[in-house]
Amino acid sequence: MNFRPSYPIKTERLDLRPHRMDDLDDLLAFHSDPEVVRYVPWPVRNREQVRAALEVKLTQDALTEPGQWLVLAIELRETSTVIGEVLLKWDSDINRQGELGYALHTGYHGRGLAAEAARAMLRIGFEDLGLHRIQASVINGNTASTKLLERLGMHQEAHLIESLYFKGEWCDDLIWAIREQEWRSK
């Protein structure tokens, strides 16, 4: 498979698109924020670390084999500002599984923007990639994410006790998921 969406993917207020090098300052604004990175698998980053991460993201605009992530910038259309990132992993071709991820600048929390971007990625996963199930992994205590996933129609399927050594401590991992039939019935 060689899947590359037509960009930008437009939602009501957002353009989801591949990253560009000129996203650096916008990314730095939230990659360097301890509140944003508290529950994501990267540390607080300085400018050079964000630049290195961005160089990898530049190549993540298509899916050609299982195990790859589609990583898109969340651009607020009215200001052309990158306010976050949304990700979809193609986990398995045989089992038609995927994984959802996202990070959003704290200045844009509480407006439904992360849900808008995540909903678009679920649509891509189910309608374009033909996935059967998409999951999200959440560190226990990340109530904003669990509320978001619930709004998306996802259900908590598992609570894995101290299954992740995350940022220097053992953490519980909450597995949330939605199946294609649930998505289509919404």
The per-residue pLDDT for 104 is 97
Q: Dig out the tokens for 37 from the structure.
A: 């990175």
Q: How far apart are CA 58 and CA 44, in angstroms?
A: 20
* Mean pLDDT, the chain, integer: 97
The per-residue pLDDT for 158 is 98
CB 18 within 8 A of CB 55: no
The per-residue pLDDT for 113 is 98
- The answer to whether residue 186 scores a pLDDT higher than 90 is no
Q: How far apart are CA 77 and CA 16, in angstroms?
A: 10
The per-residue pLDDT for 136 is 98
* Alpha helix segments (H runs only) across 33-76: 34-37, 47-57
Q: How far apart are CA 130 and CA 56, in angstroms?
A: 26
Q: How far apart are CA 119 and CA 134, in angstroms?
A: 12
The per-residue pLDDT for 1 is 82
* CB atoms closer than 10 angstroms to residue 54: 20
Question: What are the pLDDT digits (tens) for 112-122?
Answer: 999 999 999 99
Q: Summarize the confidence of residues 65-91 as an average pLDDT.
A: 97
Q: Which domains does the chain have, with CATH numbers?
A: 9-184 (3.40.630.30)
Confidence class for position 79, pLDDT limits 50, 70, 90: very high
The per-residue pLDDT for 114 is 98
The percent of residues in the chain predicted with pLDDT above 70, rounded, is 100
Task: Kindly calculate the radius of gyration of the chain based on its CA atoms and give it in whole angstroms.
Answer: 16
Confidence class for position 126, pLDDT limits 50, 70, 90: very high
Confidence class for position 34, pLDDT limits 50, 70, 90: very high
Question: What are the pLDDT digits (tens) for 131-169?
Answer: 999 999 999 999 999 999 999 999 999 999 999 999 999
Task: State pTM to two decimals.
Answer: 0.96
Q: How far apart are CA 133 and CA 92, in angstroms?
A: 10
